[in-house]
Structure 1
Amino acid sequence: MTAATLVSTDNVAPRERAPVWREWVWKHFGGLEADLYGDTEFDGHMASAHAGDVILTRLEANRHRVVRTAGMVRASDAGYLKIVAPMHGRAGVEQMGRQAWVSPGGWTIYDTTGCYAVENPERVEHLIVMLPKALIVERGLQLESLMARHVGGASGISRVALTTMRSTYQELPNMSAAAAQGAGELIAQLVRLSLIELAGQSTALTQREALKDRIRAYVATNLRDPALSIEQIALALNCSKRHLHNAFAGEDDTLASYILRLRLQACIREIQQTGPQSRAITGIALSWGFNNLSHFSRVFREHTGQSPSAFRQAAAGPLQH
């Protein structure tokens, strides 16, 4: 029988849950920063086990976001490819200028030796699988172009891989160490085959992904510009607006909502800074391309459930009397 590691906030005082969860995430995933979108209430549970060198974790938690910066990457010892396969809720993985949103029935993969961010905008239950990169590296397979891509899960080898990951996690308590080792090796083989198949997708889809990468790179560079628009992007990339919209077809975000979401996320990160170096909310909004403050306040409330000032007050913690 393989040993499992279990952690839960159920026995932690409510006010201590957020910092305790951040500490658990940091330790379990080898240096990873978590924030809770400014929420003051939180609960989460993790159960993890090994299938040989492959680590499988079932995570259930309120909405949260995790980030790995360049400094955290340098502090990490081991290189893994990490898979997120939602069972409930959805996740958005961002790496190398790309972002892939996955829902139950799909999965995506990213590289822990690079910077990345994972959005969980609602309560989630995920299966997270960590595979040593050495198990996946295939001669001629360029992993960089496959990270933060929607691998699949609905059909073909990616569906076989997803089913195997789920069933392995469920049956690990009943496996011997030798059987668990074999199951881990099978998962690695199926993931490798899924990535090889993804790398061989049609030229049209490859071109669309390439255009999407160019769009995201341009948006990232010009996010603070209030004049950033679909028209401006089309002119800069020398393509039609129709091509820009087509590049985002099938995504949860339209191009316009993608830009808005990135701006809001940037504002949220700055508004959460409540120390003496914190900036005024108006200045933050203007610096990230919002030139209409009433519009900013409205979309901020829609995204977080709070006004910007209430959000900052919550991030600062309860008032001391």
Structure 2
Amino acid sequence: MTMQRDAIRRWREQYARRSLRIDFRPLTDAPFSTSFEPIYDDLRVARTRFSPGITFRDDELVKDGDDAFSLVICPSRSLHVTHQGREVRLGRGEAVPMHVCETGTVGSSEDFAFIAVLVPSAELRARVAHPDDAVMRRLPRSSEALQLLRHYIHSLEKSRFNGSAEGRELVRGHIIDLMSLALTQVGKVGESSQSAIVAARTASVLQEIAASFQKPELSVGLVARTLGISPRYLHRLLEMTGASFSERVNELRLQKAFSMLADPCNSRRLISDIAFEVGFSDLSHFNRLFRARFGGPPSSVRHRASGGACE
């Protein structure tokens, strides 16, 4: 218990109350652990993880003058949030808006994480008529606008975005627009041409392709149905990225096949088995694409890897 208190005290003094502007209270005797992963600094978008306990902003911390609105997104099994005399329990994929200038808590009796998006009050009020009315209103996982925001944040997190000043300003606008939409949109977002929605939809499409490219039955229609958009709209989104659906799927499959063939641990596996595992259903087609992409047949990659040791 003493070790836990000392760890929390060091974290609090060196980092929490100065930089994160939050504090922490444990709920169990488990060793204290935490991590902070910035995703997009301009809006303080970050993923934070904690051992069982409660993070909070108290009367002293809210004196810092920060008037931002925070959207707390739950990637954990559950979160318990208190704010403005109200309580909300969030499940995985759900979210709740909070006003940073007022005290509040976020926590769980088990290891937990949350993603926070902080938007300056003036910028949110310029887009949302009465943002205070949305505070502590649970946004369900089924909210399409919230799903788009989550996908967009995930794409930034995965790519470790570090663009130009112009690019950062564009991303900033996208995040604020998507958060505003999540606070106000009740029904379907639809196939909008709004920049933020196009960017988030594109991120969703690319994530779905990356997660499913090894399925031989993967098609434009299947991805479109999964994401609730039309095949025509999906094609338009991919056209703007400079690569078609088949080009993206084939590239992912070929890269996966190359990696597997180069691994000495797969030296006894048939090339055809690897081709089928990564999603190809025609071996001749695989061989043609592989040679065109890498300048030689699959067997040449295996030959170069044959002298290595399997680890």
TM range (shorter): 0.5 to 0.7
In 2, distance between residues paired with 1:137 and 1:180? Answer: 21
Matched, 1:56 2:27: no
Aligned-pair distance for 1:184? 1.9
Q: What is residue 159 of structure 2 aligned with on the other side? A: 171
SS of alignment partner, residue 151 of structure 1: coil
Q: Aligned to 1:29, which of 17, 20, 32?
A: 20
Q: Could you list the runs of 5+ residues in structure 1 that have no partner in the other structure? A: 1-12, 200-321
Aligned-pair distance for 1:40? 5.4
TM-score normalised over the length of structure 2? 0.53
Larger mean CA deviation between 119-128 and 137-146 belongs to: 137-146
Contact 2:39/2:153 (8 A) holds in 1: no
Contact 1:153/1:162 (8 A) holds in 2: no
In 1, distance between residues paired with 2:7 and 2:124? Answer: 36
In 1, distance between residues paired with 2:127 and 2:171? Answer: 23
Aligned-pair distance for 1:120? 2.2
Matched, 1:191 2:179: yes
Larger mean CA deviation between 62-71 and 185-194 belongs to: 62-71
Aligned-pair distance for 1:93? 1.7
Matched, 1:85 2:73: yes
Over alpha carbons, which structure has the higher Rg? 2
In 2, distance between residues paired with 1:78 and 1:140? Answer: 19
CA-atom RMSD in angstroms: 2.6
Q: What is residue 45 of structure 1 aligned with on the other side? A: 35
Number of aligned residues: 184
In 2, distance between residues paired with 1:161 and 1:50? Answer: 13
1:1-321 matches, within 5 Å, as: 16-23=6-13, 24-30=15-21, 32-37=22-27, 39=29, 41-51=31-41, 53-73=42-62, 75-138=63-126, 141-197=129-185
Aligned-pair distance for 1:141? 2.5
Q: Could you list the runs of 5+ residues in structure 2 that have no partner in the other structure? A: 188-311
In 2, distance between residues paired with 1:152 and 1:188? Answer: 19
| Shift in alpha-carbon separation, 1:129–1:36, aligned structure 2, 3 A | same
In 2, distance between residues paired with 1:140 and 1:187? Answer: 14
Q: Percent identity?
A: 17
Give the letter for the 2:19 counterpart: H
Aligned-pair distance for 1:38? 5.0
Deviations 1:116-149 (A, max 9, x none): 1212221013222222122211477222221112
| Greater length-normalized contact order (CA 8 Å, ≥ 6 residues apart) | 1
